Every structure is written in C-alpha cells, then in structure tokens.
Amino acid sequence: MTFEQLFKQISPEDIDDNVFKLVGKDFYLITAGKKENYNSMVGSGGGWGTLFKKPTAMCLFPIHRYTLEIIQKEKTYTLSYFPNEYKEQMLFLGSKSGRDSDKMKEVKLSAVQTPCGNMSFKEANLIIECSLTQITTPAVDDFYSQESKDYLKEAYKDPNEHRKYVFGEITAVWVKRG
Ligand SMILES: Cc1cc2nc3c(=O)[nH]c(=O)nc-3n(C[C@H](O)[C@H](O)[C@H](O)COP(=O)(O)O)c2cc1C
C-alpha cells in the first residue's frame, strides 16, 4: 500500500486529539533521517502551538542526543503517535541509542517514507512532519520558578545534560485511514 492509501492528510487545526494528552500523558516517537539512515527515539513533553504565525511543535533534548544530531543535519523530522499495543516497541527505541546499536533493524515496526521523504511507521495513527526552525538553549537565569531553576541547575552540573528546545514548523499532518 502506498503512503497515501494508509494515511490521509489533514490540517493541524483538524487534529482531534487533546494536545495535553498527546504531549503530556502520552509519549511519541521522534524520527529523523532519510530511508538509508534514520533513527527514532521516544519523546515526551514539549508542546504545540503557533510561533511566528506558523503551526509549530517543540521538543526537548539534551545537547548530545543522537536523534538531535540527525535533525540538525537533515533539518526535517517526524513526530509519530501509536495505538497502545505498540508501546513496548516504542519504549524499545527509548531504551538504547542508535549511535551504537542496530535498534532500527531490531524494532518490530514497519518503516514508511512520507511523500516528502521523511520517515515514520505504518503502525502510527498520527504523523506530524516538521521542518526545523529554531534550536534554543535555555539558561538557568531565564527561569523564574524555584522548581525549574533547581531542576536546570542540577541538570547543568553535567555539561552533557545541557538542554536544547527544538522548534519545528509543522509542514504536514497525517492520520491513519479508516
Ligand atoms: C517515556 C520516555 C520519554 C522520553 N522523552 C525524551 C525526550 O522528550 N527527550 C529526549 O531527549 N529523550 C527522551 N527520552 C529518552 C530517549 O528516548 C532515549 O535516550 C533514546 O534511547 C535516545 O535515542 P538516540 O540516542 O538513538 O537518539 C525518553 C525516554 C522515555 C522512555
């Protein structure tokens, strides 16, 4: 089946699911790279909204995350949501790094390429394609609640844990047909 036989394109404003559920309670896969070399990891948190008049998704990464390296190289990526039955496979992709493992070959999900050439999976029920627009490094001094200041100070003791807020324009939204 072709990608368009599996998925139907909708506008970002027609996404039925609740955003606080999608980025707060659920987790999702962030996939970057092209067919020959792509990598997925589990993401959670972040947010969706409008930035500079564009529908935008925001994800959070520590600075040396392998998937982030591929996002920076390719400038595009997907966020994919799945029915509950695939949670185990999703978590597998969050359990080790593609930098030093063959997890993309081992995972029991079927890769699929979008018409734009981005990668996701046939089992997904919602795919958001993003084009990288901004990577911001939050500074401890920019935080005002004690809780967030404490969290960041602790995390920043380890230079590998410096955070990146990654913003991508939502360029396409796909939902599973029927
Ligand atoms: C439930 C869950 C949520 C996660 N959320 C994030 C996240 O938002 N950002 C992040 O950088 N890592 C997150 N991780 C960790 C990455 O998915 C994990 O380190 C992964 O192995 C990284 O893969 P990579 O090294 O191939 O990029 C999460 C892991 C789990 C299990």
Domains of the chain: total: 1
- The CATH number of the domain holding residue 103 is 2.30.110.10
Averaged in consecutive runs of 10 residues, what is the pLDDT profile of the chain (178 residues)?
Answer: 96 92 89 97 95 96 96 98 97 98 98 98 98 93 91 84 93 96
* Structural domain for 70, as ranges: 3-173
State if residue 118 touches ligand 1 by the CB under 6 angstroms criterion.
Answer: no
Residue 83 domain-assigned (yes or no): yes
Residue 178 domain-assigned (yes or no): no
CA of 82 to the centre of ligand 1 (A): 16
State if residue 63 touches ligand 1 by the CB under 6 angstroms criterion.
Answer: no
How far is 110 from 150, CA to CA, in rounded Å? 41
Contacts 24+ apart (CB under 8 A), 33-38: 33/70, 33/74, 33/119, 34/74, 34/117, 34/118, 34/119, 35/111, 35/113, 35/117, 35/119, 37/70, 38/70, 38/104, 38/111, 38/119
Residue 110 domain-assigned (yes or no): yes
Residue 131 domain-assigned (yes or no): yes
pTM listed for this prediction: 0.96
Residue 34 domain-assigned (yes or no): yes
CA of 76 to the centre of ligand 1 (A): 18
Q: Which of 27, 31, 23 is nearest to 103 (CA)?
A: 31
